[in-house]
Structure 1
């Protein structure tokens, strides 16, 4: 979400300082409205140190927002965003590493480490995560008649960057293993090993991704009194390049460039050497129709039907280990939805909804060679919700029962080479309850609390293959990985117009890192605190100003926050163990102070 430009000229500035040498400066300038056109421009700069491990974080962002009101319901809103970061990567830990070494442990060494061949093999400076994104959206609304409106929303997304671990990669005359490159221009491994340098023959090899995603959404809304119809069409043609160039190292062990544009190793024929070189084109489209029927003042029925088609055209350009190849796959589904709402009285409402959804496999299934991955099925689900909402002036309560039937449930993991891979977990049924309760209390206090119970039960045993041998894992009846059964949140707040404060906590129960439920991380409760003062100001210059204090993880809880890499089995079955799941490390106590003002 982004705020609409104001009709008045003005400015907003905010300065944040905090833990780990964090500094963030933000400024937004509103031009005001002229002949129906209003705009704002914002810029921000953030920098700081890594809270664990060596390295730093830096990010810059520029955003432009223009809103034009031509009158009579005809509007146009243009939003342009550019973001650039140049950060070191955080390592993720196994449960064993976390328990043995603590949350500050970082397997990415602060100083270069050298292997038995005398070459650098691991260093935090090789764990880079630079990324750039640009997003442009033009949201246009046209009122064609009193009861007919058209929305046309073209958009464009561009992303460019990489993420990689701390290891260096060897490249020499003998590195071409069934691939397409002539490495005769490089010395042999023995020559590199004998030259006395720790940085020759080893390289920074980022997993680089560039993405171009132009698309358009068109919606026609037709009001026929008791019926409100919507017809829509969405089209997108995404292109994605995934490469692994080799970048030389400085004598210090740092890469000569973290943005690999023209500084990569080439072979004897002048071709850029790649550990991976894939280009995927993904045209996707969706067409739908929906009717909202206001049966009477108390009953509303919504029914719709969508058809979604996604095609992936993959070109493997060849690499050090692969020959060129083209592969493609298509996915199609009808996606119906229906909803019913009943207004019992002014404060109480009952509702039910049913929808079908589809999630297609990641594009790397086109290129994986094992187990016929190209024919991986899309994940589909039927989602049921039955609930009650109560609303009055001082209190809101909501209770929702949900039941979700997943087929070909996808879970993202990594294979033995560290490459991302999808696991098809078969059928999974999620059932549970969501409760929310919020409202106002006397003397300027307010409150919010929520509870969620989720039973995510796998319906099938999972078959995996080890050295060509099929192994059936006992996953049926087990809780799905990375889904906690219980989550509870509560918050108390205060705001008297001069001072405000919030204090709250969130409890998350244990969750499993593998599908066989052999390994779990314990539950945790994390508390946060916020406070602030609305400063007295001279209204002629400053409209308002606020001084804020935020403390996340107030009691400095040490915990693992979720699964980063899910495994099929952390225990051993028939001699096979998929490995240890990796987890996201929960952030330590973080304090930030900010001063903001509107001019």
Structure 2
């Protein structure tokens, strides 16, 4: 996870007031100033327009009537939007975001979108989130904020808690299968998610919200709006978020600073700047197996009681220290990060527009757990031995096999990332019927990773430094911190792209494009650095890998009339292997030369009527070389691949405004994600836990992929009073690749309601709202946290294969409520 200093974030945000921002709504300056030939090209942060940035002049006019009609409606209460791209796309608008629980992160907000499966450990939005699309897990999905990438440069993970207060989110767009080729993605085998922050208002003032909920949830949000300061307007926000964990001991604490500035240079040119900063010091929820839930109950988490070690010795001491490894205070998730980006929008000629987005992302932090170390007065470096009083008995006693002397230590796995990059894109009209979009993306990031052992108070279980910056367990000879591993990766990405959009008449649109992506990962990795004796001897290696691919896309749209459109789109995607793949394979001498690749095809229909609007598509994906962990005969982890997966299904959504204040929205997802062929779990046999053999997975369903997901929402809004009732049905999930263990499906309901009061003097737009999640207090295992090749419970069915351990799952939070009041002061 990630980190930086609050003072630095505020300083950068203040500097942003001299910068400029991006168009987000129909009333923003950038949209107003790009009239005529380039009206369709708002900017990269308007996510609902990312798929039409290269539309021709004819295409813009062709869709004008549909757009005007859609703006007069409220499609699904903001859960649905008009789309024009020849592929599957869905957008959540500001209207729906305003009514959601105020602490919601993007994984919760996209839960109703067809094709998306999302879940979270905590509905406050403070415990990140879990999501997948069409059978692709989150590490296979690209993501941008205001046009800049935020997927982790090494693992492609996204930690949703870090990004964006809901008051600042403008819209969120999901491309379920085929990312646009101009997007800064190096790890998107399937799909892309982009969200944008709102533009600063023209009126100065202060926006304030206060939220309270069960589990002592408290949230304060304040946003300062400068209003128009000549051609520049800005906002800067701060939120403080805390909550007790709903199961087990501990709490969640997150502070965020966001900002945005817009400078309108003239009618055709603008520049913007935005900042997203967060600092969190959360504890973690433990993912549980079905057996753990049955044995310890639904509300079990990590151990809430520390066993003091100072009066124990021998086997009793070792038992207590081992038990204390699971103490909740050792399982932390401290992280801070910031993303600073700018967006320049320039009209170079009547038919030529340029967008330039430079960005810089920084993160520092990680996750932790407990470890077991032994005391030793030996001057020889030995892994997990230390010349320190680890059990608090006042002396250092040499540990032996017969008489253990040691204690529990803090194992902190951290990462620090520096990530600068730039995206440049030209849009050129070649006439009424033809336009080109072309440009490049360049990024060079550095990432260091380490797992360091820190000291823990043996009497209380208090960690000396949860950030792992001091109080290390050290080697006696060198005096260096003891580490499980030390890694460094340098990643350089280069991408060029070109798209041609042709509309020969008012009915047909043809789109074709190609991008070329080149990636280099180089660096080194050390296991047990500094340890040269004992069972765990030091190993190390360097690596320098290159990958490159041409990625074509094509699409056809037929606009039958102002209401109906039909489309087909196809595209090739490519995922550069993660830094973990590169390092672990280098350590065991394996060259995994087949990175992930997909061919995704969408075939669909859209209808936008006066009261009813609908969208439906069927899709097919050929997914090759999905990377999965395996083990050598010596028990060393490396990465193998699932050679081929066949994924297909149906996505649909509909909105029905059956009365002036009443709307029904529904979406449905059918997903069939089948493995083709056997999965190589590594060489070996059933008698050795390292080599796991070939698993007969042909025809099996991918874990954590529900076959059916349904959403329905009934909403009322008369401009003063509003209320929404949502229902969601999720079918069962497999926990292992052999499909021997599954968890049942479940249904949840949520309710929200609010009242908007009238203005009173300097108090503007006061409101109150209530959000209730899991209305019926349903208990369920909601997602697969760690899928196994073969679940332990299914080992008897396949005696020739090693069954590993039990899959672990996330738990659905019981009923939770939040009450929020808010207003603007002008």
TM range (shorter): over 0.9
Contact 1:174 1:188 in 2 (8 A): no
Backbone CA RMSD of aligned residues: 2.8
Which residue matches 2:465? 257
Q: Which 4+ stretches in 1 moved above 6 angstroms?
A: 174-177, 179-184, 187-190, 412-421
Cα deviation, residue 517, structure 1: 0.4
Aligned-residue offset at 1:117: 5.1
How far does residue 45 in structure 1 lie from its aligned partner after superposition?
0.1
Question: What's the CA shift for 1:99?
Answer: 3.3
Taking the aligned partners of 1:20 and 1:261, their CA distance within structure 2 comes to 31
1:293 equivalenced with 2:515 (yes/no): no
| Counterpart for residue 473 of structure 1 | 695
What is the rounded CA distance, in whole Å, between the counterparts of 1:89 and 1:64 in structure 2?
28
In structure 2, the residue matched to 1:336 is 552
Indicate how the Cα distance of structure 1 residues 169 and 470 shifts in structure 2: closer, same or farther if over 3 A, else same.
closer
Taking the aligned partners of 2:328 and 2:224, their CA distance within structure 1 comes to 39
With over 3 angstroms needed to count, the CA separation of the structure-2 counterparts of 1:182 and 1:488, relative to structure 1, is: closer
Shift of 1:428: 0.6
Q: 1:256 to 1:339 in 2, by over 3 A?
A: same
Are 1:551 and 2:772 an aligned pair? Answer: yes
The answer to whether the aligner puts 1:349 opposite 2:565 as a matched pair is yes
The 5-angstrom pairing of residues 40-51 of structure 1 reads: 40-51=235-246
**Correspondence 1:527 to 2:735:** no
- SS at 1:543 equivalent: strand
Greater Cα offset, 573-582 or 545-554: 573-582
**Which structure ranks higher in relative contact order (CA pairs < 8 Å, sequence separation ≥ 6)?**
2
1:181-223 per-position Cα deviation (integer Å, ceiling 9, x unaligned): 89786689981559xxx99654211011111111111111111
Find the partner of 2:762 among 536, 541, 555. Answer: 541
Q: What is the CA-CA distance between 1:103 and the residue it aligns to?
A: 2.1
Superposition pairs for residues 497-508 of structure 1, below 5 Å? 497-508=719-730
Change (3 A) 1:417 1:21: farther
Deviations 1:390-447 (A, max 9, x none): 0023221011010011001235799999999655222111111111111312151111
Residue 388 of structure 1 is matched in structure 2 by 605
Residue of structure 2 in register with 1:141 after alignment: 345
Q: CA distance change for structure 1 residues 541 and 418 in 2, over 3 Å: closer, same or farther?
A: farther
1:101 to 278, 290, 296: 296
**1:247 maps to 2:454:** yes
List per-residue Cα deviations over 1:18-44 (Å, max 9, x = no partner).
010000000111101122111101000
What is the SS of the residue equivalent to 1:125? helix
| Partner deviation per Cα, 1:472-495 (whole Å, 9 max, x = no partner) | 222101111111111111010001
Instruction: Give the distance between the partners of 1:487 and 1:422, measured in 2 at CA.
Output: 31
1:163 corresponds to which residue?
367
**Alignment correspondent of 1:302:** 511
- For normalisation by structure 2, the TM-score amounts to 0.68
Distance of aligned partners of 1:68 and 1:199 in 2 relative to their CA distance in 1, 3 Å threshold: farther
Query: Which has the higher mean CA deviation after the structures are superposed, 294-303 or 118-127?
Result: 118-127
**Runs of at least 5 residues in structure 1 that lack an aligned partner in the other structure:** none
Q: 1:411 & 1:499 partners in 2: Cα distance?
A: 50
- 2:706 corresponds in structure 1 to 484
**What are the Cα deviations for residues 487-533 of structure 1, in whole angstroms up to 9, with x where unaligned?**
11101000112211000111111111111101111111111001111
Which SS does the other structure have where 2:775 is aligned? Answer: coil
Unmatched tracts of structure 2, length 5 or more = 1-195, 532-536
Contact 1:458 1:479 in 2 (8 A): yes
Contact 2:368 2:413 (C-alpha < 8 Å) held by counterparts: yes
Contact 1:282 1:311 (8 Å CA) reproduced: yes
Larger strand proportion, structure 1 or 2?
Answer: 1
Whether the 8 Å CA contact 1:173–1:188 is kept in 2: the answer is no
Residue 116 of structure 1 aligns with which residue? Answer: 315
Given the alignment of the two structures, is residue 312 of structure 1 paired with residue 518 of structure 2, yes or no?
Answer: no
C-alpha spacing 1:353/1:186, structure 2 compared with 1 (3 Å): same
Counterparts of 1:520 and 1:354, CA distance in 2 = 33
Q: Give the structure 2 partner of residue 579 of structure 1.
A: 805
Residue aligning to 2:30: none
Q: What is the CA-CA distance between 1:107 and the residue it aligns to?
A: 3.8
Query: How big is the shift at 1:374?
Result: 4.2
Q: Which residue of 1 aligns with 2:580?
A: 364
In structure 1, what is the equivalent of residue 621 of structure 2? 404
Is this contact kept in 1: 2:735–2:743, CA < 8 A?
A: yes
Q: Which has the higher helix share?
A: 2
Q: Counterparts of 2:621 and 2:748 in 1: how far apart (Å)? A: 28
For residue 581 of structure 2, give the secondary structure of its aligned residue in structure 1.
helix
SS at match of 2:462: coil
Match of 1:217 in 2: 423
Bigger shift: residues 423-432 or 30-39 = 423-432
Paired residues of 1:180 and 1:323 also in contact (CA < 8 A)? no
Q: Name the CA distance, whole Å, in 2 between partners of 1:420 and 1:499.
A: 57
The structure 2 residue matched to 1:53, chosen from 241, 245, 248, is 248
* Distance in 2 between residues matched to 1:418 and 1:106, nearest whole Å: 29
Corresponding residue for residue 232 of structure 1: 439
Matched, 1:327 2:535: no
Cα distance in 1 for residues equivalent to 2:390 and 2:237: 53
Q: Bigger CA drift: 399-408 or 414-423?
A: 414-423
- 1:456 equivalent among 667, 673, 678: 673
**Cα distance in 2, alignment partners of residues 419 and 90 from structure 1:** 27
Matched, 1:4 2:199: yes
Deviation at 1:459? 0.8
User: Partner residue of 1:89?
Assistant: 284
The aligned counterpart of 1:130 is 334
Residues 113, 460 of structure 1: alpha-carbon distance in 2 compared, 3 angstrom cutoff: farther
Q: Classify 1:142/1:473 alpha carbon distance in 2 versus 1 (closer, same or farther; 3 Å).
A: same
Confirm or deny that 1:496 pairs with 2:718. yes
1:370-381 aligned at under 5 Å gives the runs: 372-375=589-592, 377-381=594-598
- Are residue 35 (structure 1) and residue 35 (structure 2) matched? no
For the 8 Å contact 2:733–2:743, the answer to whether it is kept is yes
Report the Cα offset of residue 262 of structure 1: 3.4
